[in-house]
Amino acid sequence: MKRLTASLSLLIACATPAPSVAPESGPALAARSTPAPPSTVFTLLSVEVFGSRKVPKEQLLEAIGLPAAGSQLDKARMDFGGVLQESKKRVTERWPFALCAYSVAEYPGNLMRVTVNLVDQGDEWRMTFLPPPQGSPPDPSGLVDAWVSYLKKLQELRQAGAFPTFGVGTCQAIVCHGGFEHPELAHREQAFVVGVPSHFDALVRVLREDRDDIRRMSAAMLLSYHGAREELAEAISLSVKDSSAGVRNEILRLLGAVQKDQKQVISPLEPILDALWFPLSTDRNKAGWALVQIVESEGTVRRKQILDTSGEMLMQMAGMEQPIDHEPARKVLTILAGRDLGADEAAWRRWMTETSAQ
């Protein structure tokens, strides 16, 4: 599935790497026409719940009370965030969840899906993260500030309709976050290409120690310009349990990208399996795709460990309508099972029971 750049938003709580090629520049780049600003009217495809093992889904969906699938929503004419806030209020007043967080995924064609992520009381272990760091390490050669400036300009161009909303673009890093194919972006990448390998240790320190979530997340993104995959995977793995959802999202994305198309396993399995239990859509989606890369490299060698540790989460994900859940889960399970049982969660559960009994 194509990357949903800047489109997966955690609205209420308590975004596959492209080929690395040089960006286009010069007259051909400058001559591109500017498209019209994107439409604000979306079609709501689904509303789903994930994570509760105590409250029936039917009761939850009734309390959530969002518009029916197929509804047209104009986000410029309605306070969609307010609608979600009222929905969350109804849910949390009825059931005392340890966490209730709504996420919205937007897809090409102005399509939208909503997932309500839940953690039952008693399942707080699913949210055992590292304490928020309190440091303020230096920004090596201004790389972090330069990256934040790049992301800001990228978002401005997208909002103006001057840059594609979806897609990862092209870049010279292991992971691209939109690319540099615009006159106002094209000159920015070389500083990252040159600076990140020279300041690898300092950026890892920002990732681990900076009190600012955005700066830690930016450091994680920048580290994808470091080409030594084994060193990179080892340095970032601890941050899978960062207190910030945005940082976790980027670390898990990067671990998957580091592992992609490798003959040997580089990214560590255990923290990725743990992350499948984390509470948010972004957690399990990126953990799921990282796990896809591992099983594509090594096959069924650690099937028992995967199913014993996180099989339950893979089962729930496989049964979701939401593609960011079911696509990675079904791909992992298909490799482990040697056959594709599709969207039938009950069939997958029967297979897991039979396999575990062997």
Average pLDDT, the chain: 92
Provide the 10 A C-beta neighbour count for residue 18.
16
The model's confidence at residue 37, banded by pLDDT at 50, 70 and 90, is confident
Q: What is the pLDDT of residues 251-261, one digit of tens each?
A: 999 999 999 99
Question: What is the total count of domains within the chain?
Answer: 2
Instruction: Categorize the per-residue pLDDT at 38 as very low, low, confident or very high, splitting at 50, 70 and 90.
Output: confident
**Pairwise CA distance, residues 358 & 350, whole Å:** 13
CA dihedral 32, 38, 43, 46 (to 10 degrees): 80
Residue 271: give its domain's CATH number: 1.25.10.10
For the chain, the first-to-last Cα distance in angstroms comes to 34
For residue 31, is it within any domain? Answer: no
Query: Do 180 and 117 sit in the same domain of this protein?
Result: no
pLDDT, position 7: 40
Residue 36: pLDDT band (50, 70, 90) is low
Residues 262 and 339 reside in one and the same domain: yes
CATH number at residue 92: 3.10.20.310
Same domain for 222 and 173? yes
Query: Same structural domain for residues 151 and 118?
Result: no
pTM: predicted TM-score of the whole model, two decimal places? 0.89
End-of-domain residue from the set 96, 126, 156: 126
* Whether 169 and 119 share a structural domain: no
* Same domain, residue pair 192 and 337: yes
Domain residues for the domain of 97 are: 39-126
- The residue that leads in pLDDT, 23 or 180, is 180
Distance CA 327, CA 285 (A): 9
Give the number of other Cβ atoms within 10 Å of residue 68's Cβ.
Answer: 7
**Is 129 within 8 Å of 279 (Cβ atoms)?**
no
pLDDT digits (tens, 9 = 90+) for 123-164: 999 999 999 999 999 999 999 999 999 999 999 999 999 999
71, 93, 126 — which closes off a domain?
126
Q: Are residues 257 and 225 part of one domain?
A: yes
Do 231 and 298 belong to one domain?
Answer: yes
Q: What value does the mean pLDDT take over residues 236-240?
A: 99
Q: Do 86 and 231 share a domain, yes or no?
A: no
Are 316 and 167 in the same domain? yes
Query: Quick check: is 350 in a domain?
Result: yes
Collapsed DSSP state (helix, strand, coil) of residue 345: helix
Assess contact for 50 and 118: CB atoms under 8 A: yes
Predicted confidence at residue 358, as pLDDT, reads: 87
Return the pLDDT at 26. Answer: 46
Mean pLDDT over 268-297 rounds to: 98
Q: Of 72, 99, 126, which closes a domain?
A: 126
Q: Specify if 24 maps to a domain.
A: no
